[in-house]
Structure 1
């Protein structure tokens, strides 16, 4: 019995001696994992921008839907609207109906690039017949033309500063080479034909071969590929939540986020990105494949 008692005592002492060693080893492993996680999390945090999204941003940007249900809010109107007749640098290669054509300066620059490309294709009889209209001008037009030819103030894309009516100096756009060129090529420059012939049931507007809307790339390319109107495209993004699109070998990522009271979006700080509201209930984040990014208003900023 004494022998068994001695062995039991030795076993207990051994357990008491070894257990702290095991605990110490486990604690060291936990500490190592903890330190590793801290380093990894710090690295991730340093490469990600945390963006606080407010409800106001739902109503700002190039992808705002304006139709009979969703009207233009004062905060939605482009802040860089200019009189084209006083900015000759943006009006080369096309005419103006009169001296009171207004447009977003960014849009004027994009349109000028498109007209330059059309001229290289031998198509050059373009003119702008209407651009940005304020609510007062839209109201007067509505009263003059009636609901068959105009929309009430606040329900026209022209009130945004992102749309324009393009004509041909030779003939009606429906028959003109300019109209055909716009329909086939405008998407390459960020524009879309807003009211196509086969989509009147969706847009609620009759076919208008002269009315183009700027949404920007890659959105115009996706809309062209899928034959989407803006209504269909925004519904598609909301359903998919996030999509990737490769254009000319470069990958773009586009994500929809519903906007609640407190919405935070994480975007890689090494990439260029742009945020636009949809004028309904959320924002669309577009991440571009290069090393710069844009602010919430879409202005490009270097790092």
Structure 2
């Protein structure tokens, strides 16, 4: 079994003046390990934040690179915008462009973004106008993150369009998930929305697709397993859930690439690869 996998499975907790120290290791020294400080604020930042009727967005969770897509022609090749106000995380827009390019290679090319990022004020106005049956309160909508977008077809409704079918089959390959599936309304609390996609990144989208998980189910799965491993595309990943109550130090094996994402509840997901 991989050394890092064993170490994460056997989380060793010790105390330090600044807060908890979670040592991801097998031995009593930190040789070959890189210390990474995780602040409590990071619980509310990242690509895997759960934002729904129960958990509201913290302002630090809003993507810092929100742009008006109309002003970035290089990011809007191959698809249409409903109007000139569509905004999104620039990073997510790049990933979306890659995905649309792949779809075009399969002969599917009539995509349109009808909604992206909404400010908290915009969400509040929408909620006041539409009511609880058609909108979520400010801070409880994924559109407030900058990671979600409503994707349409210029040909027909998404539940019948080739664009919708292609995305449902392939979006996970590019880090996107269908956020509100037809058979999961009892879990998400939201009716089926074939147009609403959310960026979570790889390898998380792959695991969610393979296990037919919503984001709610995936986060619960990680909390239960604590550590999982996966190999895909020539890369080996280890993913671990770490509860965070205050500033914490984790140690990661030297030579591993890593990323952190909070869950917006009480922990962070540590993803390492090599």
Both proteins in one fold, TM over 0.5? yes
User: Normalized per residue, which structure has more helix?
Assistant: 1
How big is each residue's C-alpha offset from its partner over 1:136-172, in whole Å with a ceiling of 9 and x where there is no partner? 1111111222211111110000000000000000000
How big is each residue's C-alpha offset from its partner over 1:183-210, in whole Å with a ceiling of 9 and x where there is no partner? 0000000000000000000000000000
- Tell me the matched-pair count: 249
Secondary structure in structure 2 of the residue aligned to 1:45? coil
Aligned runs of 1:103-252 on 2, under 5 Å?
103-252=88-237
User: Normalized per residue, which structure has more strand?
Assistant: 2
TM-score (norm 1): 0.80
Distance across 2 between alignment mates of 1:173 and 1:82: 25
Q: CA RMSD in A?
A: 1.5
The residue that corresponds to 1:53 in the other structure is 38
Secondary structure in structure 1 of the residue aligned to 2:30? helix
Distance across 2 between alignment mates of 1:135 and 1:93: 30
Distance across 2 between alignment mates of 1:89 and 1:209: 26
Of the three residues 272, 283, 287, the one matched with 2:257 is 272
Distance across 1 between alignment mates of 2:246 and 2:122: 35
Secondary structure in structure 2 of the residue aligned to 1:128? strand
Distance across 1 between alignment mates of 2:230 and 2:186: 28
Distance across 2 between alignment mates of 1:149 and 1:180: 24
TM-score (norm 2): 0.88
How big is each residue's C-alpha offset from its partner over 1:35-77, in whole Å with a ceiling of 9 and x where there is no partner? xxxxxx89x7352111121110000000000001110111110
Once superposed, which parts of structure 1, at least 4 consecutive aligned residues long, lie more than 3 Å away? none
Distance across 1 between alignment mates of 2:67 and 2:108: 26
TM-superposed CA distance for 1:269, in Å, is: 2.7
Compared CA separation, residues 248 and 73, structure 1 to 2 (3 A)? same
* Structure with larger RCO (C-alpha < 8 A, sep 6+): 2
Distance across 2 between alignment mates of 1:126 and 1:262: 43
